[in-house]
């Protein structure tokens, strides 16, 4: 790109075209992210003040994720059309070129460790169609997105300082999406995220106590009960977890211990494309809001260096709504105390997700 950021095209078929250059006059991206350690929770908090000025809900004719076409200002993608595009975020929370000359402590106090937020943040555009959605993509395009996730996972995992790679999609204004074009992101964190850390601890405890893999046992229990299974394939199972936190939540888990997208076989990628697209469609029908139901899709992968034998790739898909037109507010108990209260019975939600797919 004109400011030195990397941009990568992923095509459904082998392309016969050469992408045009980025002709914009852009200043170099300035990143000032740091991380501070919360001694009360044991978690790192990224502080990225430069993100206050990022693009916010531009009109459709000025969308920075649409292809560059005659009659409109150049966008982040110089090509006049594309299948899938990945590029470095212009307003990253983590970056490879952040200033490393950061004091090791806040106020010189060892109680508050501080360090540079070394990592990387990328944007993944799923389609050039501004008015589409992931659930509306043909299954062949979903497979291309999976190939992009696999490629980027391998590349980002090899970068200095990266400890975990997390592809995700936020969908809907209720969730805080500032660009309506169908897209997701990939965060390459310089630490193991809190949820993954908790999972690793529980998986280690389970293995020490039973000698078995926690995911194997969860899958076996869900498949045996069947009441919360939404759909079962040869390589993956989709189910509503027994202790679901969100009123509408589903997990998609591989049957074998696949560590990340790069570890998936060709057959597994093909089945995953079908199952994931189908699950998004079920969410759309459930809320009767196709193609724009609000949701968060988070792909949890094994950390790059820690506990890779304790966890596996899996999807957590959930909506911030408890019913069509009704938000699930995270108020005092959830946001304040971290104690979740679900408004729906998981078995009933699984039954409804099965029904809307028939």
Domains of the chain: 7-194 (3.30.428.10), 212-356 (3.30.428.10)
Q: Which residues contact 319 (CB under 8 A, 6 or more apart)?
A: 246, 247, 248, 249, 283, 287, 293, 294, 295, 296, 328
Cα separation, 270 vs 279, in Å, equals: 15
Confirm whether 183 is a catalytic residue. yes
What's the pLDDT tens digit per position in 66-79?
A: 999 988 889 999 99
Q: Which residues have C-beta within 8 Å of that of residue 136, sequence separation ≥ 6?
A: 290, 291
pLDDT at residue number 342: 93
Considering 183, 251, 281, 314, which one is annotated as catalytic? 183
CA dist., res. 133 & res. 147, Å (int):
18
pLDDT of residue 289: 63
What is d(CA 271, CA 13) in angstroms, rounded to the nearest whole number?
19
Residue 328's pLDDT is what? 87
Quote the pTM value.
0.94
| pLDDT tens track for 95-145 | 998 888 899 999 999 999 999 999 999 999 999 999 999 999 999 999 999
Instruction: Using 70 as the pLDDT threshold, list the residues of the chain that sit under it.
Output: 50-58, 60, 289-291
Q: Where are the beta strands (DSSP E) in the chain?
A: 7-10, 34-38, 43-47, 84-88, 114-116, 120-125, 164-171, 183-189, 229-232, 236-239, 249-254, 295-300, 314-318, 321-323, 326-327
b/e burial code for range 253-283 (CB count within 10 A of at least 16 → b): bbbebbbbbbbbeeebbbbbbebbbbbbbbb
Contacts for 343 with CB less than 8 Å, ≥ 6 apart: 247, 322, 328
Question: Which three-class secondary structure state does DSSP give residue 190?
Answer: coil
């Amino acid at each position: 790109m004109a400011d030195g950021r990397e941009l990568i095209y992923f095509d459904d078929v082998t392309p016969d075209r050469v992408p045009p250059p980025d002709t914009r006059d852009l200043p170099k991206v300035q990143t000032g992210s740091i991380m501070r350690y919360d001694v009360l929770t044991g978690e790192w908090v990224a502080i990225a003040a430069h993100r206050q000025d990022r693009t916010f809900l531009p009109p459709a004719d000025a969308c920075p994720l649409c292809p560059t076409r005659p009659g409109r200002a150049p966008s982040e993608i110089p090509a006049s059309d594309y299948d899938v595009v990945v590029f470095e975020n212009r307003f990253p929370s983590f970056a490879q070129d952040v200033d490393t000359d950061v004091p090791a402590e806040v106020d010189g106090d060892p109680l508050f460790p501080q360090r540079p937020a070394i990592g990387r943040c990328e944007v993944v555009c799923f389609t050039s169609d501004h008015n589409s959605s992931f659930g509306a993509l043909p299954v062949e395009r979903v497979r291309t997105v999976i190939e992009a996730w696999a490629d980027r996972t391998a590349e980002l995992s090899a970068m200095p300082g990266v400890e975990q790679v997390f592809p995700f999609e936020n969908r809907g204004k209720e969730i805080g999406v500032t660009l309506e074009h169908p897209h997701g992101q990939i965060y390459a964190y310089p630490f193991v995220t809190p949820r993954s850390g908790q999972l690793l601890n529980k998986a280690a405890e389970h293995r020490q106590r039973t000698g078995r893999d926690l995911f194997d046992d969860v899958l076996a229990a869900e498949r045996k009960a069947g009441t919360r299974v939404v759909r079962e394939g040869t390589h993956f199972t989709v189910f509503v977890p027994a202790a679901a936190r969100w009123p509408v939540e589903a997990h998609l888990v591989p049957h074998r211990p696949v560590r990340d997208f790069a570890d998936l076989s060709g057959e597994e990628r093909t089945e995953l494309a079908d199952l994931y697209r189908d699950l998004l469609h079920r969410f759309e029908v459930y809320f009767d809001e196709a193609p724009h139901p609000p949701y968060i899709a988070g792909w949890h992968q094994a950390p790059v260096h820690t506990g890779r034998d304790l966890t596996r790739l899996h999807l957590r898909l959930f909506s911030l709504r408890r019913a069509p037109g009704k938000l699930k507010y995270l108020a005092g108990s959830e946001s304040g105390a971290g104690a979740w209260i679900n408004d729906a019975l998981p078995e009933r939600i699984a039954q409804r997700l099965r029904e809307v797919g028939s």
